[in-house]
Amino acid sequence: MQRVDRRIIYTLIFISVIVPTLWPLQLPTAVTPETQSFFNAVDSLPSGSRILFPFDCWPSTLAETEPMAVAALRHCFRKDLRVVGLSNVGMGGPSVLERVLLQVGGEFGKEYGTDYVNLGYKANYQAVLLGMGSKIEDIFPTDHHGTRLAELPLMREVPNYDSLRFTVIISDNAMVDYWVSLVNARYGMPMVAAVTAVMAPKQLSYVQAHQLQGLLGGMKGAAEYERLIGAIDKANRGMDSQSLIHLLVIGFIVLGNVGYFVTRDKRRAPAGQQG
Amino acid sequence: MRRLRPGAVVPPAVLLIVLFHVGTALADAPAPSGAFRIERLNILVFALIFSAAVLWYIRRAVRGETFYIRPLSGLNAVDEAVGRATEMGRPIIFIPGTGELDQIQTIAGLSVLGRVAATTARCRTPLRVPVLYPLPMAAAQETVKQAYLDEGITDPLDPQTVQYVAGESFSFSARIGGMMAREKPAAAIYMGQFTAESLLIAEMGQAVGAIQIAGTAEPEQLPFFIAACDYTLIGEEFYAASAYLSNEPKMLGALRGQDLMKVVIVVVVVAGVVSATVGWGEEIWRVLLAAL
Amino acid sequence: MKHRLPILVAFISGAIMIVAFFGRGSVVDAVSDEALRGQTIVAGIALLLGVFSIVQVHWGRITTHHSDRVYSAVLLLCLAMMAGFGVFAGVDAGGVYDWLFQKIQAPMMATMFSMLAFFIASAAYRAFRARTIPSTILLVTAIVVMLGRIPMGQYLYDGLPSWANWIMVVPSVAVQRGIIIGAALGAASMSLRILLGIERTYLGRG
């Protein structure tokens, strides 16, 4: 029992992922205080506020980060917030952000250039984060499509951080630390973050220090947020699979320990007394 | 060996507590001008205290004082790992993290690589060092080349020894998986900054039966290494690895100075918790200000 | 001089960044900006080193009839193809390069990431054994958190999600802070040793 072939484990995990995908269980998800704080922080912004929306994610983590980005953007557009997007991940970041902005912007009838902008990517994140505090146009002379910022109505109103009210960070790497230490600490920009589940425990210390006003952690955080905004989507469907996998892992752990204790007792018993 | 005395800990701790309040007051004050960023004074003073502590103990170490370093089983296992690989005739994989050369963890990993390369050169054990970025690759090549030269190996370095593998962490882990499946290393050593690929690499190493030693300062990746590897160096144990393996007095003295600062921080944290719990913090500060 | 020059360069570079961190002024900011720009330029040129390494290793495998030469040929072909499309057809959205990245590279990256689900199961099964008291505490904590994060946990016991959240928010964060503080001190000590030339193994010298 304590030496189950890993192929059996992998097969059962595979089944646990596929079955709920084909036959959704529609299990409810409890909302954590950090997700509620994230929601409250965005919900308290006045309609028409300009916010920054960094999408600092690699394509590999899209299963976790894209649902969070979509849910957060739906909330922002529902509140008629005006979104300035950018990415500090060159490989895939701006194009995925573009896709998400187009998808959610289309749902709410938002217009590019007026309601949202995608600035794209520039190398050297330190220069980007600090430079935007002085003048965004020095760092991004054009947007992701090559249009000069002066030609975009939204960007004419946003010369630097002073014109932005809030930041919603979507990230799967250490960029959250840099946003907090370089932008929140120096410019006082209030912010929330949506990060992968593995990163969430570390970022909780920022929430406790009030450097972040809320936190979404992984697919569960996205599922909670979808419930709060009343738009059940991919994350909630994904939580069905995650729930089954958690139970399966717990089952294997229990099985392994049962096997361990049984064989330990057998090893301890003198030879003539076994069985 | 001398233990840390309260006299060495209390003055820096008091200074740090005062600095915290100074820094808070400066942060609330209007933005100052001038050549020196006064709002960072507390950081500067902390850095000076830290440097003074490290340099003080380096000086004492150079003068012959010995310092006790507790055994780090992960580092003691490096020789065992190399010996195992030599007996089995299989290579050792060493991954100096997946960070760029400007990350301090990468430099720490390269420091350990130097020691490991020297041991593998001595035992004539094949070494594989796959690297994620080109600059660490260049540094690793120099490190391994020098270690080989010091052991009398003057042949040109085999290009297969230190290889650049993609520029993205999951492509890197796919390559490592293939390398492990084909070459079946007897030992795998992971020392540096890692992200999500840590568990992928460690599990692939487990699958081929390699003895695995890991060291990182990334709190998110430590649980994966602890679950999948035989030995794990946690946080500052990893940074101490170079000093531990070299046993040089200056390095050991620096470790001692660093430990002093950790004790100071613990004292400050405890003082802060007590004062916040009983509500004395503001009162003490008011009394101090009035006295000044 | 050959051995002292890199140490001197490291010291001067470090000193510049320290002065830039604490200082203010046009000269200080300009020097710091130039240093950061220089770092970006060096990293960009170093990419050529990486490409050269890959080509050298895999071309060598092809010409020496290595057993994996087919994979090496595929790798070099893909390298040439992506570089060619990127340089001659551009990297803009909607182009061939972008299509190859979005439809082939990105799904492969996501696939590798998704393998973590399988590997965490096998790692947890193997590692979580109640051999000692600390490992038993670890085991119980992991089960509480895993159950508390899913709806079934709430069905089993109403308070499980809040227990799981408490574990993540209080002891877990406290431990992480401790590790981060210790690691930060270790990094600071290592940085000081590098600046002062005490630590030289990264230069290839023991």
Identify all chain C residues contacting B161, using CB atoms and an 8 Å cutoff: none
At residue B115, does pLDDT exceed 70? Answer: yes
Q: Are residues A145 and A96 located together in one domain of the fold?
A: yes
Cβ contact C93–A95 (<8 Å): yes
Tell me the pLDDT tens digit for each residue of A39-61: 999 999 999 999 999 999 998 89
At residue B212, does pLDDT exceed 70? Answer: yes
Place of tokens 């917030």: A81
* Burial class for C2, CB neighbours closer than 10 Å (0-12, 13-18, 19+): exposed
B positions 137-156 inside 8 Å of C (CB): 137-139, 142-143, 145-147, 150
E strands, C9-75, in order:
none
Cβ–Cβ under 8 Å, residues C55 and C75: no
Closest alpha carbon to A12 in A204, A218, A251, A189: A251
* Nearest CB to C49 within list B137, B150, B160: B137
Range of the domain at A167: 33-232
Question: Which two tokens mark A76?
Answer: 């922002």
Q: Are residues A105 and A152 located together in one domain of the fold?
A: yes
Q: How confident is the model at residue A217, as a pLDDT?
A: 93
Closest alpha carbon to B232 in B243, B242, B220, B224: B224
Phi, psi of B159 (to 5 degrees): -60, -25
Residue B220 to chain A, least CA–CA distance (Å): 6
At residue B209, does pLDDT exceed 50? Answer: yes
* Nearest CB to B196 within list A6, A198, A202: A198
Q: In what order do the strands lie in the sheet with B211-216?
A: B162-164, B127-131, B92-95, B187-191, B211-216, B231-234
Cβ–Cβ under 8 Å, residues C89 and C100: no
CA atoms within 13 A on the CB side of B282: 3
Cβ contact A6–B170 (<8 Å): no
Cβ contact B254–C198 (<8 Å): yes
Tell me the pLDDT tens digit for each residue of C149-159: 888 888 888 88
**What are the boundaries of each domain within chain B?**
6-68+248-291, 73-239
Q: How confident is the model at residue A28, as a pLDDT?
A: 80
Q: Are residues A220 and A246 located together in one domain of the fold?
A: no
Secondary-structure class of domain B73-239 per CATH: alpha beta
DSSP code, position A170: E
Total domain count for chain A? 2
Does A42 reside within a domain? yes
Q: How confident is the model at residue B19, as a pLDDT?
A: 65
- Average pLDDT, rounded, for chain B: 85
Q: Are residues A24 and A53 located together in one domain of the fold?
A: no
Tell me the pLDDT tens digit for each residue of C126-137: 888 888 999 899
Measure the CA–CA gap between C87 and C152, rounded to whole angstroms. 52
Cβ–Cβ under 8 Å, residues B178 and B158: no
Identify all chain C residues contacting B200, using CB atoms and an 8 Å cutoff: 112, 115-116, 119
Between helix A234-268 and helix A62-78 the angle, nearest 10°, is 140
Which tops the pLDDT comparison, B171 or C1?
A: B171
Question: Three-state SS for B65?
Answer: coil
Q: Are residues A110 and A41 located together in one domain of the fold?
A: yes
Q: Are residues A210 and A172 located together in one domain of the fold?
A: yes
Q: How confident is the model at residue A196, as a pLDDT?
A: 94
Question: Three-state SS for B22?
Answer: helix
Measure the CA–CA gap between A123 and C47, rounded to whole angstroms. 14
Q: How confident is the model at residue B46 (pLDDT cuts 50, 70, 90)?
A: confident
Q: Does B108 touch chain C (CB under 8 A)?
A: yes
Cβ contact B168–A58 (<8 Å): yes
DSSP code, position B157: P
Closest alpha carbon to A61 in A165, A196, A189: A196
Does A146 reside within a domain? yes
The sign of the dihedral angle between the CA atoms of C172, C174, C175, C176 is positive
Strands A166-171 and A116-121: unpaired
Polymer length in residues for chain A: 275
Does A275 reside within a domain? no
CA atoms within 13 A on the CB side of B33: 1
**For the residues of chain B, what is the DSSP string, one character each?**
--PPPHHHHHHHHHHHHHHHHHHHHHHHSPPP-SSB-GGGHHHHHHHHHHHHHHHHHHHHHHTT--------HHHHHHHHHHHHHHHHT--EEEE--SS-TTSHHHHHHHHHHHHHHHHHHHHT--EEEEESSHHHHHHHHHHHHHHHHHTT--SPPPTTTEEE--SSHHHHHHHHHHHHHHH--SEEEEES---THHHHHHHHHHHTT-EEEEEE--TTTHHHHHHH-SEEEETHHHHTHHHHHH--HHHHHHHHHHHHHHHHHHHHHHHHHHHHHHT-HHHHHHHHHHH-
At residue C206, does pLDDT exceed 60? Answer: no
Does A117 reside within a domain? yes
At residue B231, does pLDDT exceed 90? Answer: yes
Q: In what order do the strands lie in the sheet with A166-171?
A: A116-121, A82-87, A50-56, A166-171, A191-195, A215-217
At residue C4, does pLDDT exceed 70? Answer: yes
Cβ contact A92–C101 (<8 Å): yes
Residue B223 to chain A, least CA–CA distance (Å): 10
Q: How confident is the model at residue A268, as a pLDDT?
A: 63
Q: How confident is the model at residue B23 (pLDDT cuts 50, 70, 90)?
A: low
Q: How confident is the model at residue B198, as a pLDDT?
A: 94
Q: How confident is the model at residue B25, as a pLDDT?
A: 61
Q: Are residues A60 and A185 located together in one domain of the fold?
A: yes
Identify all chain B residues contacting C202, using CB atoms and an 8 Å cutoff: 107, 110-111, 114, 139, 143
For the ranges B7-11, C9-13, C19-23, the lowest mean pLDDT is seen at B7-11
DSSP code, position B151: T
Q: How confident is the model at residue C194, as a pLDDT?
A: 86
Query: What amino acid occupies position B267?
Result: V
Q: How confident is the model at residue A275, as a pLDDT?
A: 38
Q: Are residues A204 and A257 located together in one domain of the fold?
A: no
Cβ contact C116–B200 (<8 Å): yes
Q: How confident is the model at residue C88 (pLDDT cuts 50, 70, 90)?
A: very high
Q: How confident is the model at residue A157, as a pLDDT?
A: 95
Q: Are residues A155 and A250 located together in one domain of the fold?
A: no
At residue B277, does pLDDT exceed 90? Answer: no
- The radius of gyration computed from the CA coordinates of chain A, to the nearest angstrom, equals 23
Question: Which two tokens mark B124?
Answer: 């004539």
Cβ–Cβ under 8 Å, residues B105 and B238: yes
Cβ contact A204–C172 (<8 Å): yes
Q: How confident is the model at residue B5, as a pLDDT?
A: 63
Closest alpha carbon to A228 in A30, A23, A50, A12: A30
B142's CB contacts (< 8 A; 6+ apart) are: C203, C204
Identify all chain B residues contacting A6, using CB atoms and an 8 Å cutoff: 207
Between A and C, how many residue pairs show a Cβ–Cβ distance under 8 A?
Answer: 127
Measure the CA–CA gap between A175 and A129, rounded to whole angstroms. 10
Cα B120 versus chain centre, distance: 22
Q: How confident is the model at residue B217, as a pLDDT?
A: 92
**For the residues of B19-88, what is the DSSP string, one character each?**
HHHHHHHHHHSPPP-SSB-GGGHHHHHHHHHHHHHHHHHHHHHHTT--------HHHHHHHHHHHHHHHH
The secondary element (H helix, E strand) that includes residue B231 is strand B231-234
Query: Which phi-psi region, left, alpha or beta, contains residue B192 (left: φ > 0; alpha: ψ -120 to 50)?
Result: left
Closest alpha carbon to A194 in A18, A92, A74, A106: A74
A18's CB contacts (< 8 A; 6+ apart) are: none
B28's CB contacts (< 8 A; 6+ apart) are: none
* Burial class for A269, CB neighbours closer than 10 Å (0-12, 13-18, 19+): exposed
Q: pLDDT above 90 covers what percent of chain C? A: 22
The secondary element (H helix, E strand) that includes residue B167 is none
Tell me the average pLDDT across C93-118.
88
Identify all chain B residues contacting C176, using CB atoms and an 8 Å cutoff: 219
Q: pLDDT above 70 covers what percent of chain C? A: 97
Q: Could you give the ipTM of this predicted complex?
A: 0.85
Question: Three-state SS for A217?
Answer: strand
Q: Which of B20-24, B62-66, B213-217 has the highest mean pLDDT?
A: B213-217
**Chains with ≥3 CB–CB distances under 8 Å to A:** B, C
CATH at A56: 3.40.50
Q: How confident is the model at residue A270, as a pLDDT?
A: 55
Q: How confident is the model at residue B1 (pLDDT cuts 50, 70, 90)?
A: very low
Q: How confident is the model at residue A175, as a pLDDT?
A: 93
Tell me the average pLDDT across C46-64.
87
Identify any residues that bridge with B36 across adjacent strands, giving them in sequence order: C23
Q: How confident is the model at residue A33, as a pLDDT?
A: 92
Q: Are residues A131 and A245 located together in one domain of the fold?
A: no
Q: Are residues A47 and A135 located together in one domain of the fold?
A: yes
Identify all chain C residues contacting A248, using CB atoms and an 8 Å cutoff: 121
Place of tokens 């690895």: B241
Q: Count the neighbouring beta carbons within 10 Å of the beta carbon of residue B141.
A: 21
Place of tokens 């509140």: A79
Query: Which phi-psi region, left, alpha or beta, contains residue A124 (left: φ > 0; alpha: ψ -120 to 50)?
Result: left
Question: Three-state SS for A107?
Answer: helix
Q: How confident is the model at residue A47, as a pLDDT?
A: 95
Q: Are residues A225 and A254 located together in one domain of the fold?
A: no
DSSP code, position C104: I
* Residues of chain A under the 70 pLDDT cut: 1-2, 265-275
Query: What amino acid occupies position B249?
Result: P
At residue B281, does pLDDT exceed 70? Answer: no
- Average pLDDT, rounded, for chain C: 86
At residue B17, does pLDDT exceed 80? Answer: no
Q: Does B219 touch chain A (CB under 8 A)?
A: yes
Identify all chain A residues contacting B169, using CB atoms and an 8 Å cutoff: 60
